[in-house]
Amino acid sequence: MKAFVVDACGKEGLRAAEVPEPVPGRRDVLVRARAASINPLDALTRDGEFKRLIKRRRPFVLGHDVAGVVTAVGADVDGFRVGDAVHARPRDLRIGTFAEYVAIDQDDVAPKPSSLTFEQAAAVPLVALAAWQILVERAHVLPGQKVLVHAGAGGLGSTVIQLAKHLGAVVATTTSGATAELAESLGADLVIDYTRQDFSQVLSGYDLVVDSLGGQNLEKSLTVLKPGGLAIGVAGPPDAHFAEQLGAPSALRVAMSLLSRKVRRQAKALGVRYEFFFMRADGARLRELGRLYDAGTLRPVVDRVFPFDQTLEAMAHVGQGRTKGGKVVVTMDSPADA
């Protein structure tokens, strides 16, 4: 089958290749991919950012999101049948959605929301699960609390805005003037054009900041939190909890802690908290989130769709910051009745 594999770290390390079709294990479903979406995590994985924590043997197939049709099931699979339309974010050591077929543990798979196309459904799993795990499991957001979401027109930001509003939060976001209307349409109560305003000069008293930019933006985000508030960083720096989540040895946990020491010290001096976030696969929760998409509470935002043969161009489109809002998707040719 055709796939896009990583055989070296860096932008030139991703290439098209012919690889064997995966054989599903006893708990796996084999999915004929109809679409996959591009995430910033794909570039980080390609570039080897997590190679000390997530051990992958190169060459490996890249890709963290998929929507498609089940073509085979393992002997112990009891929740899916051949012909089911599904979507998934496979677990970290089982990624590989930039391919015609991918075998996925049944616990990571959910039915495709019936209201979404395959292209839309492929844009959902990683960002929807991340939004839920940030807002509900980490931050425990309650009605009336104030949430700041950076890059609100992006794949993650656009989803966090919608879910935070569903939870009853008051939501502010930063974005460019070109995508301000999109952020407003998603439910943001306050949209700040970062090209014209410094958010740290106009916001204060926030319960949560979701930061996907890192660096100085993260440091300034700490200043808009109320005492005891929480800043969650998606772009880093990582912390010891991240290493613990991945089961890393104690030495790496210490190293991760050192990487985030500066920002944690800044947070402590301001009476607030900082945590790094790295999402995990969860098919059961994805199934529940799918109901929110079918109810119209959440909607995927797709920037552009590329043919599967142009996966490298799709990666470059994202990496060069050329998206106008939402996710970039690649679509595979499939039989009409698949």
How many residues does this entry show for the chain? Answer: 338
pLDDT recorded at residue 170: 98
In this prediction the pTM is 0.95
Q: Which of 134, 45, 34, 24 is nearest to 93 (CA)?
A: 45
Q: For residue 301, what pLDDT is reported? A: 97
Nearest residue to 38 via CA among 323, 324, 314, 325: 314
What integer pLDDT is reported at residue 245 of this predicted model? 79
pLDDT at 65: 98
**Which of 28, 110, 20, 24 is closest to 65 using CA atoms?**
110
CATH 2.170.150.20 fits 126-276, yes or no: no
Cα–Cα distance for residue pair 336/254, rounded to 1 Å = 52
What count of other Cβ atoms lies within 10 Å of the Cβ of residue 216?
A: 9
Examine residue 59 and say whether the peptide bond preceding it is cis (omega within 30 degrees of 0). Answer: yes
The DSSP output letter for 36 is: E
DSSP 19: -
The ranges of the chain annotated as CATH 3.90.180.10 are: 2-123+300-331
Instruction: Say if residues 147 and 136 touch (Cβ distance below 8 Å).
Output: no
Rounded to the nearest 5°, which phi and psi values hold at 306? -110, 150
pLDDT at position 337, please? Answer: 36
Give ranges for CATH 3.40.50.720 in the chain. Answer: 126-276
Name the CA dihedral angle for 310, 313, 318, 319, rounded to a multiple of 10 degrees. Answer: 140
Return per-residue pLDDT of the chain as tens, 338 residues: 999 999 999 989 999 999 999 999 999 999 999 999 999 999 999 999 888 778 899 999 999 999 999 999 999 999 999 999 999 999 999 999 999 999 999 999 999 999 999 999 999 999 999 999 999 999 999 999 999 999 999 999 999 999 999 999 999 999 999 999 999 999 999 999 999 999 999 999 999 999 999 999 999 999 999 999 999 999 988 887 787 777 777 877 788 888 889 999 999 999 999 999 999 999 999 999 999 999 999 999 999 999 999 999 999 999 988 888 999 999 996 444 33
Nearest 5°: phi and psi at 182? -60, -45
- Among 83, 90, 82, 98, which residue's Cα sits nearest to residue 46? 98
Q: Which residues contact 99 (CB under 8 A, 6 or more apart)?
A: 1, 2, 3, 4, 19, 33, 61, 63
Q: Tell me whether strands 146-149 and 170-175 are parallel, antiparallel or unpaired.
A: parallel
Is the domain spanning 2-123+300-331 CATH 3.40.50.720? The answer is: no
Phi and psi torsions of 213, nearest 5°: -110, -40
